[in-house]
Amino acid sequence: MRITMIGSGYVGLVSGACFSDFGHEVTCVDLDAGKIDRLKQGIIPIFEPGLDTLVTTNAAAGRLSFTTDLASAVADADVVFIAVGTPSRRGDGHADLSYVHAAAADIARALKGFTVIVTKSTVPVGTGDEVERIIADTNPDAEFVVVSNPEFLREGAAIDDFKRPDRIVVGLEDERARPVMEEVYRPLYLNQAPVMFTGRRTAELIKYAANAFLAMKITFINEMADLCEKAGGDVQAVARGIGLDKRIGSKFLNAGPGYGGSCFPKDTLALVKTGQDFDAPLRLIETTVAVNDNRKRAMGRKVIAACEGNVRGKTIGILGLTFKPNTDDMRDAPSIAIIQTLLDAGATIRAYDPEGMEMAKSMISGIEYAADAYDAAKDADCLVLVTEWNQFRSLDLGRLKAAMATPALVDLRNVYRRSDVEKAGFTYASIGRSEAAGDHEGRMDAAE
């Protein structure tokens, strides 16, 4: 099939590359001419494991191309995906749909023949209706149907998620779209990926509900971690104990500094606003948002407490800046609030991240960047593990201690065992594990 992807950001580029790897003919469109030029040269604008190879292989095979010419790409397409950004709107927290609406109008002017228009962007309930109205008003003669097909991609594991999905959700109001979408995803039938057809509004709600539930699960275990610290428990053992219950499951039960990234913060906030608009307030999600926002700065205060209540004039080493491993995404990363809290308290920051430092430089000012983890620890009064990159999981504790002014480790991801760290001569603080609880093997899976 001929597929056009409007938007060559994270979702659009990953989806387009994967569709082309299925054998479809895919054209990725973006208004940013510089980005398109770089993609044509095989330069990938984001870090996602395996994406560079996928793009260059399929581009070389002629199945994947890049252009700024939306009109010609849409005119030749059987299916057009809208995969543009929907950031939080300044002032009220609603999803900013201006890019979606603009894409719909541009698509309408270029349509030739029957075309399925698919909203891939994360959008509030009812957006598909508005996209349909915009296209019909802009081009009354257009033959088209509008479908919702939300993405469920984890940064750092997006290609595997796309090719081996838990489910594919397709929301439609016109049955003419069903055989087209079945053909789009036909290659995944071999993997027995379930395709769930629903109404369009239901599909839009599924995406927000999924992200909100996972964010709520993270926030729940973080609050349990606080209780464990006060009451003498071990949150990792608690998480394992409840996660083994099949009704609960082990995923997203790793205590830490709070969720971040491009999805959970904006999607939970947008869902809260949607609930208010429909006079159906979502109190659990409202609380989730508030607790998570407060937690990030609380982690900064936790570091200060580990430094005997004062970091003024002290150097703090930060390991990990991105909101999770295997991505360069800094959007709403907990590290931002943690670092700002420490800077406000008078600390000097030396930070290292394997992939996120370039993006961090545009978002965090007044800090130093290190060459590696040991450089970040040089002359530091405290080392803080913020993001659990694999290369931080087996650091040479002796080498770290020798580099530091004061051997203190604050482990915000519970990567290390207290006994091992203290044996190496460090003072140690972690999440949800009191000294009385000791070491227990409770960790289940890498934090999402």
Q: Please identify every residue annotated as catalytic.
A: 263
From CA 376, how far away is CA 276, in angstroms rounded? 45
From CA 287, how far away is CA 303, in angstroms rounded? 24
Which tokens hold the place of 297? 């700065």
Q: To which residue do tokens 């405290």 refer?
A: 382
Closest CA to 332 of 248, 420, 259: 259
Q: To which residue do tokens 């609960």 refer?
A: 248
From CA 183, how far away is CA 159, in angstroms rounded? 20
Q: With the C-alpha atoms ordered 436, 437, 439, 443, is the resulting torsion angle positive or negative? A: negative
From CA 383, how far away is CA 110, in angstroms rounded? 55
In this structure, what are the phi and psi dihedrals at residue 125, rounded to the nearest 5 degrees?
Answer: -60, 135
From CA 313, how far away is CA 348, in angstroms rounded? 7
**Burial bucket for residue 357 (CB in 10 Å: 0-12, 13-18, 19+):** middle
Q: With the C-alpha atoms ordered 189, 64, 87, 291, is the resulting torsion angle positive or negative? A: positive
3-class state of residue 382 by DSSP: strand
The neighbour count for residue 166, using CB atoms within 10 Å, is: 9
From CA 169, how far away is CA 210, in angstroms rounded? 12
H-type alpha helices, 307-356: 334-344
